[in-house]
Chain A
């Protein structure tokens, strides 16, 4: 089955800096790669996703890149703000939202 590894497990940055979280996956058939943000006491919420026919996608301060050959994808957050502090999860799936395999999560802390 699919295996997703996520690094780093914790990340601390100063407000205004950029943050990068990286994930690798094992199943070359995976074609859908969402990123979720989880705030304390809440369920994960989708912040951006990318499909295997696209190499990069951007939404304001958030961007995701995908390298199918190397089987890795990354989340980039620019101009970080304290409200970006949360746990971020990457995931991979072969079809739709079904059978998402999650990475272990990254605790991002943005220091004012």
Chain B
């Protein structure tokens, strides 16, 4: 089972460049999200989606855009990369249950460096 697949695994960008981090899941999960992980700060939510066509902002959305045209894919776009966006990015998916918690499955991460 593929689970959650992120590409690329590593990326170096110059300040001001744009790029898209790809995320795909094959578990038919409604809920998908993007987190960034920085040393000593845990994982912080950037954007999330509860289904195709529906997205919302998380804790640190500035400088990032998302869209959800299909259940499977949830790309994250950096509009104009800044050194402060140097981080490890994780995509996650989970089945949506309005009452009970469900397991979130994470991808392997994308390590992004902005120079």
Contact = CB atoms under 8 A, between A and B. Distances in A.
A99 B42 contact: no
Given A96-B94, A96-B100, A44 B106 contact: yes
Interface string A8-51: 01000000000000000000000111101000011111100101
A85 to B, nearest CB: 18
8 contacts: A36-B106, A43-B92, A46-B105, A51-B101, A98-B31, A98-B48, A98-B50, A105-B40
B19 interface: no
Contact of B103 (A34, A42, A99): A34
Given A41-B108, A98-B33, 11 more contacts: A1-B59, A32-B100, A32-B101, A34-B103, A34-B104, A49-B101, A99-B33, A100-B33, A100-B92, A102-B42, A102-B43
Contacts of A84: none
Contact of A96 (B96, B107, B108): B96
A74 B29 CA distance: 29
Interface of A: 1, 4, 6, 9, 31-34, 36, 41-46, 49, 51, 89, 93, 95-105
Given A9-B40, A51-B101, A100 B90 contact: no
Interface in B67-107: 90, 92, 94-107
A36 B92 CA distance: 13
Contacts of A44: 43, 90, 106
Contacts, number: 86
Interface residues of B, number: 32
Interface string B16-57: 000000000000000101010000111111001010000000
